[in-house]
């Protein structure tokens, strides 16, 4: 029995009915001696010395580490605390424990001496064995572990006994010899008892405290969800917005997702995997059962390793976000088995499934424009309208959900990277992972996420929604980069050619497609300082009276097209005529920058240049 927070129940030396058997309805605290905390009667009578390593309130145990004498009950007649000597108790590992039990028939005194590495513990009680035990008895050892594992070992044990007959005066010569009576027979039947307990009984045993495995399937006589082994429960729940998300226990989410079955996996991202499921919400609302479709994100080992404190801080923040274009957080689980987040399951799934589906369905331009405005609205809220700026860090179509009315629901928002509005300094420490094709090039060099990084990703998504093309593709060993291709079309005054062919035909819609494509290029400008804020971009996206930005016509020297382009090429960057920022880069990706005071002018876009 190791020195740990929770041990098994312990072991005992006992005298009981012969032959002995484990009683029915026994529990760990009963040490396999009596039925569930019942008194011994009939064949279940016992006298025992218990070496108890778990406090059972039903037995009135003095603590979880004591030696006691039990007489037909688990409520000890006498007991002694064995924790007086530090490191010398019943659960001390790798320490020999030696017990000596002595019983004297004349005084009816049962005495126990327990020696643990030089520390002596003693307990004794007056017990008339002939009164409390049957005529024939079994002598042995019993033990129980309850809900945990504990190793009990007896290295050796021995006993000896003597029976000293009282000397009687010789009977008168004329008297006949006494006829044996039932009393004499009874006395003889007590011999096994006297043999086993009249004289010193030496028991040498070791509870070699080797914990083979220790876990709790549930807290002993406590609330049902202690199996979660969560720390600081009340502290985190106090920080969550009232009426907002709630804590779920791990087994609830296991049941909801079919034990995280592969067929229920909805997707996998940089932060972990997402599973669909059905969750009963009765525990949350206290009324009739209500099953709701949910998405359960199981954070990856790398994300979980960032630490519980950061996870708690982020849950508190996400729980307070309220916006029609954000996926709703329903709850969380912070078990030692993993960190999980529970979101509403949005009916139509992710945007990428609709952009690239193969079942013939096609998003119309009004639907795409509605999705664009919803995404911009969500980002504007995260960046400017909440009390602190939240950098999403992984904006891409697979994280943009669509409800039954094809409205945007931005999800998986980076576990809430905070940037102070006034200082612009990052308030949380974990780096945003991002996804290839959508990552801000400057973030690759600086490793410092900021709102401009989200703006870059937003711009790429705008180009993707209008064109129906992925940001980077490989064909026959050649790479196609959407941003470079669209910019080359802009330089040739043919940017409308980037629009999905299935959207073309309506001149008014085409003008809006051009507007969205140019704003997409503006947002994805290689230089952070040249990008607009989300609020500025939304102003241009929502109003046909707003002036479009004047961008450099020839941003990239290599002019790619969908059929042929290299993954990287030399490029030059120019802003408006009021100033310029030039950048040159060779094929290795090394970059030099020079700048003059630069500002981006806005003007009406003309198809005639």
Instruction: Give, in degrees to the nearest 5, the angle at Cα 210 between 207 and 212.
Output: 130
Q: How far is CA 406 from CA 166, 275, 362, 465, 544, in A?
A: 102, 21, 12, 14, 23
Query: For the CA atoms of 284, 289, 295, 297, what is the dihedral angle to 10 degrees?
Result: 40
Active-site residue identified among 394, 412, 440, 454 = 394
- Sequence-ordered alpha helix ranges (H) in 308-450: 308-318, 351-355, 365-380, 441-446
Contact 196, 139 (CB under 8 A): yes
CB 196 within 8 A of CB 103: no
Give the C-alpha separation, 280 to 289, whole Å. 6
Single out the residue of 72, 61, 53 nearest to residue 15, CA to CA: 72
Examine the residue annotation and report whether 561 is marked as an active-site residue of this protein.
no
Q: Please name which of 45, 50, 46 lies closest in space to residue 65, comparing C-alpha atoms.
A: 50
Burial (CB count <10 Å: 0-12, 13-18, 19+), residue 372: buried
Question: In this structure, what DSSP letter does residue 199 have?
Answer: S
297 labelled as ligand-binding?
yes
Residue appearing with tokens 């979101």 = 343
Measured CA to CA, the distance from residue 157 to residue 603 in angstroms comes to 99
Q: Find where tokens 């999800």 sit.
A: 411
- CB count, 10 Å around CB of 533? 16
C-alpha dist (Å) from residue 82 to 51, 54, 60, 63, 112: 9, 12, 16, 9, 13
In 3D, which of 393, 470, 403, 379 has the Cα closest to residue 426?
A: 393
Q: Which residues are annotated binding-site positions for ATP?
A: 297
Q: Which residues are annotated binding-site positions?
A: 297
Q: Which residues are catalytic?
A: 394
């Amino acid at each position: 029995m190791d020195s740990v927070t929770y041990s098994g129940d312990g072991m005992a030396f006992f005298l009981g009915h012969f032959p002995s058997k484990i009683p029915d309805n026994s529990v760990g605290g009963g040490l396999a001696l009596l039925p569930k905390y019942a008194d011994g009667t009939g064949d279940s009578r016992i006298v025992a010395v218990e070496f108890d390593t778990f406090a059972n309130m039903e037995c009135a145990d003095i603590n979880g580490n004591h030696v006691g004498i039990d007489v037909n009950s688990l409520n000890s007649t006498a007991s002694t605390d064995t924790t007086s000597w530090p490191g010398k108790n019943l659960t001390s590992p790798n320490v020999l424990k030696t017990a000596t039990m002595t019983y004297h028939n004349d005084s009816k005194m049962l005495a126990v001496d327990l020696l643990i590495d030089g520390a002596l513990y003693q307990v004794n009680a007056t017990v008339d064995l002939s009164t409390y035990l049957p005529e024939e008895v079994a002598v042995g050892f019993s033990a129980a572990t309850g809900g945990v594992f504990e190793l009990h070992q007896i290295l050796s044990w021995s006993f000896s006994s003597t029976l000293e007959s009282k000397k009687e005066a010789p009977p008168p010569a004329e008297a006949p010899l006494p006829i044996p009576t039932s009393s004499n027979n009874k006395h003889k039947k007590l011999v096994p008892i006297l043999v086993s307990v009249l004289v010193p009984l030496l028991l040498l045993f070791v509870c070699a405290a080797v914990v083979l495995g220790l876990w709790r399937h549930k807290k002993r006589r406590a609330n049902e969800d202690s199996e979660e082994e969560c720390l600081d429960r009340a502290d985190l729940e106090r920080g969550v917005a009232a009426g907002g998300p709630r804590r779920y226990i791990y087994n609830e989410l296991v049941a909801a997702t079919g034990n995280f079955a592969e067929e229920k996996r909805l997707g996998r991202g940089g932060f972990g995997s997402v599973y669909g499921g059905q969750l009963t919400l009765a525990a949350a609302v206290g009324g009739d059962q209500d099953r709701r479709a949910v998405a359960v994100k199981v954070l990856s080992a790398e994300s979980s390793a960032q630490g519980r404190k950061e996870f708690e801080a982020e849950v508190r923040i996400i729980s307070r976000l309220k916006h029609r274009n954000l996926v709703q957080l329903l709850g969380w689980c912070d078990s030692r088995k993993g960190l999980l987040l529970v979101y509403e399951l949005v009916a139509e799934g992710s945007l990428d499934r609709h952009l690239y589906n193969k079942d013939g369905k096609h998003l119309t331009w009004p639907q795409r424009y509605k999705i664009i405005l919803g995404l911009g609205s969500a980002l504007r809220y995260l960046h400017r309208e909440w009390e602190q700026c939240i950098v999403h860090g992984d904006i891409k179509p697979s994280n943009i959900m669509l409800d039954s009315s094809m409205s945007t629901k931005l999800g998986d928002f980076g576990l809430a990277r905070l940037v102070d509005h006034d200082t612009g300094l990052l308030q949380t420490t974990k780096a945003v992972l991002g996804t290839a094709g959508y990552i801000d090039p400057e973030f690759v060099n600086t490793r410092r996420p900021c709102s401009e990084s989200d703006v870059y990703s937003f711009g790429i998504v705008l180009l993707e929604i209008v064109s129906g093309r992925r940001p980077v593709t490989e064909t026959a060993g050649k790479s196609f980069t959407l941003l470079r291709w669209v910019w080359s079309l802009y330089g040739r005054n043919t940017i409308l050619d980037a629009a999905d062919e299935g959207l073309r035909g309506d001149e008014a819609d085409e003008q809006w497609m051009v507007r969205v494509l140019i704003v997409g290029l503006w947002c994805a400008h290689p230089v952070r300082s040249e990008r607009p804020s989300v609020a500025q971009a939304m102003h241009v996206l929502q109003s046909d009276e707003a002036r479009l930005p004047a961008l450099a016509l020839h941003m990239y020297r290599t002019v790619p097209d969908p059929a042929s382009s290299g993954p990287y090429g030399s490029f030059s960057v120019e802003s408006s005529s009021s100033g310029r920022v030039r950048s040159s880069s060779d094929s290795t990706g090394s970059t030099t920058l020079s700048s003059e005071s630069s500002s981006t002018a806005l003007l009406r876009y003309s198809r005639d240049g």
